[in-house]
Amino acid sequence: MSSNSDQGSQVSVPIEAEAHAAQEGISEQAAPAAHLAQLLKEAEDEAAQLKDAWLRAKAETDNVRKQAQNDIAKAHKYAIEKFAQELLNVRDALELTLATPNATIEALRDGVELTLKNLNAAFERERIAEINPQGQKYDPHRHQAMTMIESEQPAGTVVQVFQKGYLLNDRVLRPALVAVAKARETPPAAPSSTPAG
Protein backbone atom coordinates (compact mmCIF):
# COMPACT_ATOMS: atom_id res chain seq x y z
CA MET A 1 0.00 0.00 0.00
CA SER A 2 2.76 2.25 0.67
CA SER A 3 3.70 1.96 -2.91
CA ASN A 4 0.18 2.94 -3.82
CA SER A 5 0.31 5.94 -1.61
CA ASP A 6 3.60 6.93 -3.22
CA GLN A 7 2.01 6.65 -6.59
CA GLY A 8 -0.96 8.66 -5.46
CA SER A 9 1.29 11.37 -4.11
CA GLN A 10 3.31 11.34 -7.27
CA VAL A 11 0.15 11.62 -9.27
CA SER A 12 -1.09 14.51 -7.19
CA VAL A 13 2.18 16.44 -7.50
CA PRO A 14 2.03 16.52 -11.26
CA ILE A 15 -1.66 17.48 -11.16
CA GLU A 16 -0.95 20.28 -8.71
CA ALA A 17 2.03 21.40 -10.79
CA GLU A 18 -0.12 21.41 -13.90
CA ALA A 19 -2.84 23.34 -12.09
CA HIS A 20 -0.29 25.85 -10.81
CA ALA A 21 1.27 26.19 -14.28
CA ALA A 22 -2.21 26.65 -15.79
CA GLN A 23 -3.01 29.34 -13.25
CA GLU A 24 0.28 31.11 -14.05
CA GLY A 25 -0.57 30.87 -17.75
CA ILE A 26 -3.94 32.46 -17.05
CA SER A 27 -2.31 35.26 -15.07
CA GLU A 28 0.29 35.73 -17.80
CA GLN A 29 -2.57 35.96 -20.33
CA ALA A 30 -4.50 38.28 -18.02
CA ALA A 31 -1.51 40.64 -17.73
CA PRO A 32 -1.35 41.33 -21.49
CA ALA A 33 -5.13 41.57 -21.62
CA ALA A 34 -5.05 44.11 -18.77
CA HIS A 35 -2.27 45.99 -20.58
CA LEU A 36 -4.27 45.96 -23.82
CA ALA A 37 -7.35 47.16 -21.94
CA GLN A 38 -5.29 50.01 -20.49
CA LEU A 39 -3.96 50.93 -23.96
CA LEU A 40 -7.49 50.82 -25.37
CA LYS A 41 -8.74 53.08 -22.55
CA GLU A 42 -5.91 55.57 -23.21
CA ALA A 43 -6.63 55.54 -26.96
CA GLU A 44 -10.35 56.12 -26.33
CA ASP A 45 -9.53 59.02 -23.97
CA GLU A 46 -7.19 60.56 -26.53
CA ALA A 47 -9.81 60.14 -29.28
CA ALA A 48 -12.40 61.84 -27.06
CA GLN A 49 -9.98 64.72 -26.40
CA LEU A 50 -9.20 65.09 -30.10
CA LYS A 51 -12.91 65.01 -30.97
CA ASP A 52 -13.58 67.70 -28.36
CA ALA A 53 -10.73 69.85 -29.72
CA TRP A 54 -12.02 69.37 -33.27
CA LEU A 55 -15.57 70.36 -32.25
CA ARG A 56 -14.24 73.46 -30.49
CA ALA A 57 -12.12 74.41 -33.53
CA LYS A 58 -15.12 73.86 -35.82
CA ALA A 59 -17.30 76.05 -33.59
CA GLU A 60 -14.61 78.75 -33.55
CA THR A 61 -14.33 78.61 -37.35
CA ASP A 62 -18.10 78.92 -37.68
CA ASN A 63 -18.08 81.92 -35.33
CA VAL A 64 -15.28 83.60 -37.32
CA ARG A 65 -17.15 82.95 -40.58
CA LYS A 66 -20.39 84.41 -39.18
CA GLN A 67 -18.54 87.45 -37.85
CA ALA A 68 -16.87 87.97 -41.23
CA GLN A 69 -20.27 87.76 -42.96
CA ASN A 70 -21.66 90.34 -40.53
CA ASP A 71 -18.65 92.61 -41.13
CA ILE A 72 -19.10 92.32 -44.90
CA ALA A 73 -22.82 93.06 -44.62
CA LYS A 74 -22.09 96.12 -42.48
CA ALA A 75 -19.40 97.26 -44.91
CA HIS A 76 -21.87 97.04 -47.80
CA LYS A 77 -24.61 98.73 -45.82
CA TYR A 78 -22.48 101.59 -44.48
CA ALA A 79 -19.80 101.84 -47.18
CA ILE A 80 -20.86 105.33 -48.20
CA GLU A 81 -21.36 106.62 -44.65
CA LYS A 82 -18.27 108.86 -44.76
CA PHE A 83 -19.17 110.23 -48.19
CA ALA A 84 -22.78 110.76 -47.11
CA GLN A 85 -21.53 112.84 -44.17
CA GLU A 86 -19.51 114.95 -46.62
CA LEU A 87 -22.63 115.50 -48.73
CA LEU A 88 -24.51 116.82 -45.70
CA ASN A 89 -22.35 119.96 -45.89
CA VAL A 90 -23.39 120.38 -49.52
CA ARG A 91 -27.05 120.04 -48.59
CA ASP A 92 -26.64 122.53 -45.75
CA ALA A 93 -25.10 125.06 -48.11
CA LEU A 94 -27.95 124.63 -50.61
CA GLU A 95 -30.60 125.01 -47.91
CA LEU A 96 -28.85 128.10 -46.55
CA THR A 97 -28.78 129.65 -50.00
CA LEU A 98 -32.45 128.92 -50.62
CA ALA A 99 -33.48 130.13 -47.14
CA THR A 100 -32.04 133.59 -47.72
CA PRO A 101 -35.04 135.92 -48.06
CA ASN A 102 -34.99 138.38 -50.93
CA ALA A 103 -31.75 136.88 -52.20
CA THR A 104 -30.05 138.80 -54.95
CA ILE A 105 -28.49 137.14 -57.92
CA GLU A 106 -25.08 137.76 -56.34
CA ALA A 107 -26.14 136.11 -53.07
CA LEU A 108 -27.49 133.09 -54.95
CA ARG A 109 -24.30 132.91 -56.99
CA ASP A 110 -22.19 133.07 -53.81
CA GLY A 111 -24.31 130.29 -52.27
CA VAL A 112 -23.93 128.09 -55.34
CA GLU A 113 -20.16 128.72 -55.40
CA LEU A 114 -19.96 127.76 -51.70
CA THR A 115 -21.95 124.62 -52.42
CA LEU A 116 -19.68 123.70 -55.32
CA LYS A 117 -16.64 124.34 -53.13
CA ASN A 118 -18.05 121.97 -50.45
CA LEU A 119 -18.84 119.35 -53.09
CA ASN A 120 -15.34 119.58 -54.61
CA ALA A 121 -13.82 119.21 -51.12
CA ALA A 122 -15.96 116.11 -50.50
CA PHE A 123 -14.92 114.66 -53.87
CA GLU A 124 -11.26 115.34 -53.11
CA ARG A 125 -11.43 113.67 -49.70
CA GLU A 126 -13.07 110.60 -51.25
CA ARG A 127 -10.58 110.60 -54.17
CA ILE A 128 -13.20 111.30 -56.83
CA ALA A 129 -11.45 113.00 -59.74
CA GLU A 130 -12.96 114.86 -62.66
CA ILE A 131 -12.36 113.75 -66.26
CA ASN A 132 -12.33 116.81 -68.53
CA PRO A 133 -10.53 115.63 -71.66
CA GLN A 134 -10.88 118.79 -73.81
CA GLY A 135 -8.00 118.77 -76.33
CA GLN A 136 -6.70 115.37 -75.21
CA LYS A 137 -6.44 112.18 -77.24
CA TYR A 138 -9.62 110.09 -77.13
CA ASP A 139 -9.41 107.23 -74.61
CA PRO A 140 -12.23 104.67 -74.99
CA HIS A 141 -11.66 103.52 -71.40
CA ARG A 142 -12.45 106.97 -69.97
CA HIS A 143 -14.43 108.71 -72.71
CA GLN A 144 -17.62 107.89 -74.56
CA ALA A 145 -17.72 109.34 -78.08
CA MET A 146 -21.12 110.79 -78.91
CA THR A 147 -20.19 112.08 -82.34
CA MET A 148 -17.29 112.79 -84.65
CA ILE A 149 -16.72 116.29 -85.96
CA GLU A 150 -14.50 117.55 -88.73
CA SER A 151 -11.90 119.72 -87.10
CA GLU A 152 -8.55 121.36 -87.50
CA GLN A 153 -7.38 119.24 -84.56
CA PRO A 154 -5.66 115.92 -85.29
CA ALA A 155 -8.02 112.97 -85.77
CA GLY A 156 -8.86 111.20 -82.50
CA THR A 157 -8.64 114.37 -80.39
CA VAL A 158 -11.50 115.36 -78.07
CA VAL A 159 -12.85 118.64 -79.47
CA GLN A 160 -15.93 119.06 -77.29
CA VAL A 161 -17.00 117.78 -73.86
CA PHE A 162 -20.76 117.40 -73.46
CA GLN A 163 -20.55 116.03 -69.91
CA LYS A 164 -17.51 115.60 -67.67
CA GLY A 165 -16.66 112.14 -66.42
CA TYR A 166 -15.45 111.06 -62.99
CA LEU A 167 -12.94 108.57 -61.56
CA LEU A 168 -12.95 106.92 -58.16
CA ASN A 169 -9.40 105.80 -57.33
CA ASP A 170 -8.61 105.27 -61.03
CA ARG A 171 -11.89 103.44 -61.67
CA VAL A 172 -14.30 105.15 -64.02
CA LEU A 173 -17.52 106.13 -62.26
CA ARG A 174 -18.86 107.81 -65.36
CA PRO A 175 -17.10 108.29 -68.70
CA ALA A 176 -16.89 111.76 -70.19
CA LEU A 177 -19.34 112.28 -73.06
CA VAL A 178 -17.33 113.81 -75.90
CA ALA A 179 -17.13 114.75 -79.57
CA VAL A 180 -14.01 113.51 -81.31
CA ALA A 181 -12.19 115.10 -84.24
CA LYS A 182 -12.14 113.27 -87.50
CA ALA A 183 -9.94 114.02 -90.46
CA ARG A 184 -11.38 116.51 -92.92
CA GLU A 185 -12.67 114.89 -96.01
CA THR A 186 -11.15 116.27 -99.14
CA PRO A 187 -13.75 116.92 -101.78
CA PRO A 188 -13.49 114.56 -104.70
CA ALA A 189 -11.60 116.06 -107.59
CA ALA A 190 -13.94 117.61 -110.10
CA PRO A 191 -13.80 115.89 -113.46
CA SER A 192 -11.79 117.98 -115.84
CA SER A 193 -13.95 119.51 -118.48
CA THR A 194 -12.44 119.44 -121.90
CA PRO A 195 -14.08 121.29 -124.73
CA ALA A 196 -16.03 119.04 -126.93
CA GLY A 197 -15.08 119.18 -130.34
Arithmetic mean of pLDDT, 55-60: 95
- Domain 129-185: CATH superfamily is Head domain of nucleotide exchange factor GrpE (2.30.22.10)
User: Per this entry, what is the length of the chain?
Assistant: 197
Where exactly are the structural domains of the chain?
9-76, 80-126, 129-185
Q: Would you give the DSSP letter of residue 126?
A: T
Q: Smallest Cα–Cα separation from 116: which of 79, 161, 164? A: 164
Q: How confident is the model at residue 48 (pLDDT cuts 50, 70, 90)?
A: very high
Arithmetic mean of pLDDT, 27-36: 73
pTM over 0.75: no
Residue 180 burial class via C-beta count within 10 angstroms: exposed 0-12, middle 13-18, buried 19 and up: buried
> What does the pLDDT read at residue 163?
95
Report the greatest alpha carbon distance in the chain. Answer: 177
